[in-house]
């Protein structure tokens, strides 16, 4: 386990935050399952072993599903949006973590009067998070829905912890341009 001090005084550190790294979690689970296999070899422990194995399977599955195993990862993104050279004000931007089924919303907001935005979010995940930025706009679009553009955020801008240590700057994006993967979104 890794102990990270929260506060220090003249007497020393007095408040600790208990955190498990990915390696420590996998080591713990490996040792736990080795112990279970060893216990299973004892004839009188077979029913007890079955009960423990069932409990361990349910616990590990629940921990994976509810984000108890993994590490806290964060990401931040900033940029400026324009439409035909003018600032694109009040454009909705959303930061997602891509998943196999439904993407997970990490943060959302709108651009300011200058077309600028900044979003940040965090999530506990066993593997590296896969963040993307969705932009919902009506630049040169007269339909009832929104044009949606998505940008994948590079892995080297993902940091450990709840607060991002780096920010990915997308630069200035002219929404009048067409991008591969653009779509129409009526749900926003």
Query: pLDDT for 36-60, tens place per residue?
Result: 666 555 565 556 666 666 666 665 5
Higher pLDDT, 127 or 23: 127
> In this structure, what is the dihedral angle of CA atoms 165, 171, 172, 173, given to the nearest 10 degrees?
-90
For the chain, where do the domains classified as CATH 2.60.40.3330 start and end? Answer: 72-185
Q: What is the pTM of this model?
A: 0.66
**CATH number corresponding to 72-185:** 2.60.40.3330
User: How would DSSP label each residue in 94-119?
Assistant: EEEE--SSSPEEEEEEE--TTSEEEE
Query: pLDDT for 136-156, tens place per residue?
Result: 999 999 889 999 999 999 999
Query: pLDDT for 111-125, tens place per residue?
Result: 999 999 999 999 999
Say whether 73 sits in a helix, a strand or coil.
strand
């Amino acid at each position: 386990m890794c102990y990270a001090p929260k506060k220090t005084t003249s007497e020393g550190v007095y408040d600790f935050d208990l955190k498990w790294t990915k390696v420590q979690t996998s080591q713990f689970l490996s040792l736990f399952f080795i112990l279970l296999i060893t216990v299973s070899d004892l004839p009188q422990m077979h029913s007890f072993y079955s009960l423990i194995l069932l409990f361990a399977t349910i616990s590990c599955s629940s921990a994976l599903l509810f984000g108890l195993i993994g590490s806290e990862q964060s990401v931040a993104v900033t940029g400026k949006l324009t439409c035909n050279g003018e600032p694109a004000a009040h454009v909705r931007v959303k930061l997602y973590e891509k998943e196999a089924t439904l993407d997970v919303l990490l943060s959302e907001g709108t651009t300011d009067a200058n077309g600028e935005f900044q979003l940040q979010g965090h999530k506990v995940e066993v593997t590296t998070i896969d963040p993307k930025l969705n932009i919902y706009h009506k630049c040169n679009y007269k339909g009832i829905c929104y044009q949606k553009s998505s940008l994948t955020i590079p892995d080297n801008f993902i940091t450990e912890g709840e607060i991002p240590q780096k920010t990915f700057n997308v630069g200035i994006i002219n929404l009048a341009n067409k991008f591969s993967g653009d779509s129409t979104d009526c749900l926003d």
